């Protein structure tokens, strides 16, 4: 009888420890189909192709400059829709390539996690906020005519939200140096702050640092008010008289390996089999049975 009680207590402790280490229940979110990210990529590619065609058509180029670039002067003339259309606009191959790779890498995870409606609203809002930030910054520097285009501001928002949700996931700075996602996101914010100061002093590169920082700020506000703590680890404490969960040595070893991989690479790094394993463990924990 004494041995049985000890076993049950140990099992209960193990169950609550597992609860404290498992992600909050989000059934099947890692396998949700993508809707928004592929559509956004397709629209960006289409607008990019139109920009290329505009090189041989002055009329088309004038249309694109009026409707797919954003600046304070555009807003003064009432072309307010450019706050959004400019976020889908790229005229250089390297620009669209970088933005679309980053968008797909981090946006696909966030769309599955948040759901496509929330993700779409967040993405569009981030693009508009980034455009507004560019206009305000350029006006403040006495250059209201400076135009901007590109998805970089919205992508900056996605990157920061991803980093705040999965701070230990691996991120490749400049596609080469592996760092924790949060450290990488903060590094890019630091670069934009430095670049913005340089532009304010009459130097710097022709990069929309204001738009990047505006997007990042939008991402932080969204995370702070809508996501903070929502997808974090459970805060249940060890102990309690709840039912038991028995893991075989092989299952315990597999759980530790998958949990470590999740903390390093993020959910997109898990294979389908690993995700199914985590889901089965979670269901057993929540049901308090084997």
Cα-based torsion angle of the residue sequence 107, 112, 117, 119 in order, rounded to the nearest 10 degrees: -30
Task: Tell me the C-alpha distance between 212 and 208, whole Å.
Answer: 6
Query: Which of the pair, 170 or 165, is modelled with greater confidence?
Result: 165
Residue whose pair of structure tokens reads 């404290």 in the numeric block? 20
Query: With contact defined as beta carbons under 8 Å apart, do 53 and 60 qualify?
Result: yes
User: To 5 degrees, how large is the angle CA 76–CA 203–CA 145?
Assistant: 15
Banded model confidence at residue 254, pLDDT cuts 50, 70, 90: confident
**Which of these CATH numbers, 3.20.20.80, 1.20.1540.10, 1.10.600.10, 3.90.1150.10, describes 30-227?**
1.20.1540.10
Please state, rounded to an integer, the average pLDDT across all residues of the chain. Answer: 82
Q: Give tens-digit pLDDT for 179-199.
A: 888 999 999 999 999 999 998
Residue 17: pLDDT above 60?
Answer: no
Residue whose pair of structure tokens reads 């997109």 in the numeric block? 268
Query: What SS3 state is found at 248?
Result: coil
Query: Which of the pair, 285 or 161, is modelled with greater confidence?
Result: 161
Rounded to a whole number of angstroms, the CA Rg of the chain reads 23
Q: Give tens-digit pLDDT for 79-98.
A: 999 999 999 999 999 999 99
**pLDDT computed for residue 231 by the predictor:** 65
Q: What is the pTM of this model?
A: 0.73
Query: What SS3 state is found at 260?
Result: helix
Task: Tell me the C-alpha distance between 22 and 30, whole Å.
Answer: 15
**pLDDT computed for residue 64 by the predictor:** 97
Residue 288: pLDDT above 90?
Answer: no
**pLDDT computed for residue 233 by the predictor:** 36
Burial status of residue 129 (CB atoms within 10 A of its CB: 0-12, 13-18, 19 or more)? buried
**Exposure of 194 in the CB half-sphere (CA atoms within 13 A):** 6
**pLDDT computed for residue 279 by the predictor:** 75
Query: What SS3 state is found at 70?
Result: strand
Query: Cα 117 to chain center, whole Å?
Result: 15
Residue whose pair of structure tokens reads 């394993």 in the numeric block? 277
Q: Give tens-digit pLDDT for 124-143.
A: 999 999 999 999 999 999 99
Mean pLDDT of 9-24: 49
Query: Domain boundaries in the chain?
Result: 30-227, 234-290
**pLDDT computed for residue 271 by the predictor:** 78
Banded model confidence at residue 215, pLDDT cuts 50, 70, 90: very high
């Amino acid at each position: 009888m004494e041995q049985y009680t000890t076993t049950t207590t140990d099992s209960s402790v193990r169950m609550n420890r597992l609860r404290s280490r498992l992600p909050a229940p989000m059934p099947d979110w890692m396998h949700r189909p993508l809707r928004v990210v592929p559509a956004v990529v397709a629209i960006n590619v289409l607008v990019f192709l139109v920009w290329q065609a505009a090189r041989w058509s002055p009329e088309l180029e004038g249309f694109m400059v009026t409707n797919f670039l954003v600046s304070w002067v555009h807003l003064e003339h009432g072309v307010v829709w450019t706050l959004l259309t400019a976020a889908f606009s790229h005229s250089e191959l390297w620009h669209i390539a970088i933005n679309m790779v980053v968008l797909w890498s981090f946006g696909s995870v966030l769309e599955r996690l948040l759901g496509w409606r929330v993700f779409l609203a967040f993405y569009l809002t981030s693009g508009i906020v980034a455009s507004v930030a560019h206009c305000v910054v350029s006006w403040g520097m006495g250059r209201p005519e400076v135009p901007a285009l590109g998805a970089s501001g919205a992508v900056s928002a996605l990157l920061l939200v991803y980093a705040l949700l999965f701070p230990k996931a691996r991120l490749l700075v400049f596609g080469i140096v592996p760092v924790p996602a949060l450290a990488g996101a903060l590094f890019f914010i630091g670069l934009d702050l430095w670049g913005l100061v340089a532009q304010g002093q009459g130097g710097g590169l022709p990069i929309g640092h204001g738009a990047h920082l505006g997007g990042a700020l939008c991402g932080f506000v969204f995370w702070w008010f809508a996501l903070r703590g929502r997808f974090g680890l459970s805060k249940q404490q060890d102990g309690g008289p709840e039912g038991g969960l028995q893991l075989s040595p092989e299952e315990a070893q597999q759980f530790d390996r998958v949990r470590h991989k999740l903390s390093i690479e993020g959910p997109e790094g898990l294979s389908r089999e690993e995700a199914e394993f985590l889901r089965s463990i979670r269901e057993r924990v929540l049901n308090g049975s084997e």
